[in-house]
A and B are shown apart, each in its own frame.
Chain A
Amino acid sequence: MPDFSIRSDSVDVEQIMRRIRARIREKRGVDYTEDEIRELANVKLEKFLDPDKVRSDLIEHYRRQRPIPPLQTPPAPPNYGFEDETIYASSRSLSGRIIRLLRRILHPALKLLFNPNPVINVLHMQSAINAYQTEQFDRIAQKVGLGDELHALHYEVLNNLVVEMTKLGIEVKNLKMRVESLSSRLDFDERRARALEGVVQYRPASAVAGAAAPAGKTTAPAEPAAPQAQEGEQARRRRRRRRGRRRGPAPATAATEGAADAAPVPTGATGPGSEPAAPTDSSSDDSDGPDTPES
């Protein structure tokens, strides 16, 4: 049965939409918006991850990790390549050649004062060490950068997992409500069936015979009618039991059909104490043909 049958030509689309929204809220149990679910999930994130099971400081750890500011140090100066000839070299073009020549000529005189070769060697080695260290630092920086991204990713994954868990939790809660509702209806149906069977069982046979015979007719004798009526009653009882078993607790669906079954969240609308509708054939609930309007 559709939710919003109309009886006259005057419709109010705003009212229809209000009813549709109310029905969606009803089916969801509680109307959580995405933001609310996220907020709930944030609360649960701490609730889930704070205990000793995981790590007590995991949240703080991730929170600390997330907003790592980028490294603001100035770039390293270029490495200075130190060769044998470096101490004699000059940056000037023409005069540089003359200076270089003079330095070479005076080199033996310099060697008389001190030996520059170990200095040249050490500086050359220092240059090589600098280059090596720079390379190592670059690699470490790359690793740290990847680690940051990974931490952020882990945080996102954890957060999304908890959001999904929260949604699932809500869904499980709704499903539980629905199962409870259905089981209470089933109990009610069973009790009713038993009560009906009891009433039929203790009914006097004469009354059944009297009811079976048409009023005013006396041509048929009363004695043979009693066993026939009893057999007929037993057959009816058997049929009723079989039908009862086949039907199960079906009538509950009738109230939640229509537009509401389009909403993706499972229903938990009907409470356990509510009155079940009259049993109907469940196959007719969701036919594709036009529905009869609400009476």
Chain B
Amino acid sequence: MKTAIVVQRYGADLSGGAEVHARYVTEHLSRHVEVEVLTTCARDYVSWRNDLPAGVDVVNGIRVRRFPVARERDIFDFADWSTRVFERVHSVSDELAWIESEGPTSTELVRHLRAARGDYDYFIFFSYRYYHAYHGIRAINSRSLLVPTAERDPAIGVSVFGPIFRGVRALMYNSFEERALIQAVSGNEHVPGVVVGVGSEVGARPDRLRFRQKYGIRGPFAIYVGRIDENKGCQELFDYFRRYANNVRSRLSLVLIGSSILDIPSHPRIRHLGYVSDEDKFDAIAAADVLIMPSYFESLSMVVLEAWALGRPVLANAHCDVLLGQSIRSNAGLFYENYDEFAAALRTLERDRRLADTLGRNGEAYYRRHYSWPVVERKYLDMIDRLKREDEEGGVRGIESLPSWFTRRRKTVLPAAEVLAKLPCGPVRAPKPPPARQLDGKPAARAGGVARYGQ
């Protein structure tokens, strides 16, 4: 059996959640099925510039086929379209223009997908919001699986994605919150879906002492790993930590790992190490007292899973439903909504080592139970087997076609931000079981949208 992984960028040295996620899944699936990656020549996710040569490449033993991007992204044009689609009443045609403007506009990739659809059994698409996924899924139609990597941002309210969520053969969700969000916006409860997430490549024996010696770090410290960006909540983290350091008697430092596009405050207890190797990163997390994840928008934080895999507790931003839900379900992290809670929770974790260790152990158990590679691989393979069985039975759905030329141009679509605001929010405490299915593969009863979950 041959499977294609279709992703916007691909490379061993590329950072970015969805891209690393795709690479990990590809490398692990390649142990069970024949896998080929179809991607663009872009390295930079802002401009989608063609930095890599088109054609066939091999990355970590995986065959990768790259296609050029027709034009780079114009960020001003994209911002313009985003404002139009997110904030104003608009048309379907506007939404298609927004996708075109977002990119990566690789028409050759889509043409190849259409031409070579018979060469692969299934196509696994990553990141629903990009050009390659939207047009690719429409081209492939009945053999596409989608890993949406959806966050709670206005893009989820763009109406043209509804038929995509309802039209793919299966969805591999990252979290229960993501599944609830997509089901609420598209009503796709009948589409087979499973919450999978992704495993991690944490080393078996991280060396805490080596990290401390290498970077000269003494005393207790909290760690943040990831892009240091305002969009990731880092500015708020700096503000809170500085207040904490000034107001609370504590020796705790804050260590930052990752490239920065934000000014890091000059503070004796804040240290930025920049981009480090995976080995150093895992050693650092293992050596840390707590990992802080201040992001407001996550579909699945791999760093949080890595911290749990290494037995460390997490302090997460409670405004992010996914992080809050993960912390509650795993019993492995505290969370905060404001400075007072941040300070009190951090102080608790800093002072009560036994609590911190217990949370870390819970996290480790949670990771092993849900996100270890054998579990993740099994879920993918089971889903592919299920689709194969459905193919044999002949119960394959088609995708809804676009509205007519005139309807597409009617400005009647609600602003995406307004759609998002109406969606339910909050963590999923007890995941509901999948709907019972009849023998013909259709859902037993159509759920009338997802009720407000959580609180």
Contact = CB atoms under 8 A, between A and B. Distances in A.
A286 interface: yes
B380 interface: no
A260 B159 CA distance: 47
B245 to A, nearest CB: 11
A14 B455 CA distance: 12
B344 A262 contact: yes
Contacts of B332: 13
Given A17-B335, A262-B247, A264-B339, A9 B361 contact: yes
Contacts of B359: 11, 13
A14 B334 CA distance: 8
B214 interface: no
Interface in B265-319: none
Interface string B349-368: 00111110011011000000
Interface in A1-16: 2-6, 9, 11-14, 16
Contacts of A260: 344
A97 B396 CA distance: 86
Contacts, number: 88
Nearest to A292: B354
A288 interface: yes
A46 B375 CA distance: 64
A261 B351 CA distance: 12
B345 interface: yes
Contacts of B335: 13, 17
Contacts of B247: 262, 264
Contacts of A12: 331
Given A262-B247, A262-B248, A23 B344 contact: yes
A21 interface: yes
Interface string B324-350: 000110011111000111011111100
A261 B347 CA distance: 9
Interface of B: 243-244, 247-251, 327-328, 331-335, 339-341, 343-348, 351-355, 358-359, 361-362
15 contacts: A4-B348, A5-B352, A9-B361, A12-B331, A13-B334, A20-B348, A23-B344, A258-B348, A261-B249, A263-B340, A263-B343, A264-B339, A264-B340, A288-B251, A290-B354
Given A290-B351, A290-B353, 5 more contacts: A11-B331, A12-B331, A261-B249, A262-B343, A290-B354
Interface of A: 2-6, 9, 11-14, 16-17, 20-21, 23-24, 258-265, 286, 288, 290-291, 293
Please list the 8 inter-chain residue pairs (A to B) with the smallest Cβ-Cβ separation, ordered nearest first. A262-B347, A262-B343, A2-B352, A259-B348, A2-B351, A259-B347, A259-B344, A262-B248
